[in-house]
Amino acid sequence: MRRYHVTTFGCQMNAHDSERIKGMLEELGLGEAASPDDADVLVFNTCTIREKPDTKLAAYLGDAGARKREHPDMVIAVGGCYAEAQRDRIFTRYPQVDVAFGPGTISHLGEWLGAGGEGVARGAWGIAEERRFAATLPMHNERRFQAWVQISMGCNSVCSYCIVPAVRGREVSRRPGEILAEIGGLAEAGVREVTLLGQNVNSYGRDVETDFAELLRAVDAVDGIERIRFTSPHPKDFRRPVIEAMAECAAVCEHAHLPLQSGSTRVLKAMRRTYSRDRYLRLVEEMRAGIPDLALTTDLIVGFPGETEDDFRDTLTAVEEVGFDGAFTFVYSPRAGTEAAAMPEQVRDEVKRDRIERLVEVVQQAAARRNAERVGRVEEVLVEGPSRTGESLLRGRTRRNTTVNFTGDAQAGDLVEVRIDSATSTTLAGAQCAAVAV
């Protein structure tokens, strides 16, 4: 049997897409190899959001190319956002690559790999105009109790720093009936937690005559689904009906990942985020008033072109004012072809480095404060397996999406109550009380 190995970079959407790639290859009769060294087909599902994943991929492809010289029958396939961004150059830049495909053309990978027995279609490329939902492909679910569910593809925003609209195309919503049928099937197979995925989940549905709030309510009504998460919403589209649905639907978790990007209204404008600092802060107030015990996490960028020390301080004070439960912090990375990459006032590397260090510290302090408030409480935890810190501990996540390491005898997939005894800026620790009756 021929065997494949998939290496995944980037966001949850790519994690989802990789499960579809695996599902499709398995349906074509390939088996999964435990390591890339044992694989006949090496797939890289790439990201190009910043320069770092590009550089990492170059190293991986270097290794893969070296192995291929010893095993000339090996096939190297590169898919995802980097492949799409480099579609005109990928085969010249990396001659060891046999097949390339974009995020919307995963379904072609099988034919190009010669699954029909015709041999590998080297140099084959998908046509971006034929974009298809990866969600229509077979799935190889890595986690038995949790699943990613794609609700849309592409992005209609024009954030000036971001490459995603160029590589994932215009936004298209998946039909609600299809989404609900998939989730119904997942629930029957034992899945208890779904994460709805889109580049901007809050603009979901405009093209299929529904909206995100309605979708949340419909998913909430699916038997067996105990937890609903989603990522990412755009603050500009976070409206009252969604807040109400979050508050009223028992399965929708009390957590929103709400990317702020910058606390400076001036920088937000240059980023084309279409909200101001004040509007974001008002939205946070409205969400917290409507959804008791809400956890808020965010994405932040430092060193956007033209960002002054004062602008940066606005980001620091916004983090303190909101009191985020966590944040992904990024150094601005110019992406070829984006508006911001051509802006004249690029910030020097050492300034960016200094700012990210200061930001991380403020983020950690805020998160540590928020997590400390959980000590002494009992949290509902979905058990994911043994803890990464020690085999005798279990690991899971609260509804507010914080990782908990705890003592107990539960199985992966159980919902249990855990008494929280201590906290750091990123995790909680405690002891299991009893199984939650559901």
Q: Among 5, 6, 13, 153, indicate the residue that binds ligand F3S (CB under 6 A).
A: 13
Q: Using CB under 6 A, which residues numbered 252 to 271 contact ligand SAH?
A: 259, 261
Interface residue with ligand SF4 among 114, 138, 165, 290 (CB under 6 A) is 165
CA dist., res. 256 & res. 216, Å (int) = 13
> How would you label 24-38 residue by residue, b for 16+ Cβ within 10 Å and e otherwise?
bbeebebeebeebee
Site for ligand SF4 in 195-234 (CB under 6 A): 199-200, 234
According to the binding rule CB under 6 A, does residue 238 interact with ligand SAH? no
Query: In this chain, which stretch among 42-50, 125-133, 379-387, 423-431 interacts with ligand F3S, using CB under 6 A?
Result: 42-50
**Residue 397: partners with Cβ closer than 8 Å, 6 or more residues away:** 381, 382, 384, 403, 404
Residue 403 is encoded by which pair of tokens? 């990782």
Query: Does position 57 bind ligand F3S by CB under 6 A?
Result: no
By CB under 6 A, residue 232 contacts ligand SAH: yes
The helix (run of H) or strand (run of E) holding residue 385 is strand 378-386
Best CA proximity match to 42, nearest among 105, 88, 116, 94: 94
Q: Give the residue from 385, 379, 371 showing the smallest Cα distance to 423.
A: 371
- Cβ 8 to ligand F3S shortest distance, Å: 9
DSSP state of 426: S
Strands 394-398 and 403-407: antiparallel
CB closer to ligand SF4, 198 vs 326: 198
- Phi-psi category of residue 55: left, alpha or beta, with phi > 0 → left and psi -120 to 50 → alpha: alpha
Smallest gap from residue 49 Cβ to ligand SF4 (A): 8
Question: Residue 131 binds which one of ligand F3S, ligand SAH, ligand SF4, none, with CB within 5 to 8 A depending on kind?
Answer: none
**Structural tokens at position 392:** 């005798």
57, 64, 76, 81: residue in contact with ligand F3S (rule CB under 6 A): 81
Report the Cα 369 to chain-centroid distance in Å. 25
Site for ligand SAH, rule CB under 6 A: 49-50, 161-162, 164, 199, 232, 234, 259, 261, 299, 301, 330, 332-333, 335
Site for ligand F3S, rule CB under 6 A: 10-11, 13-14, 47-49, 80-81, 163-164, 168
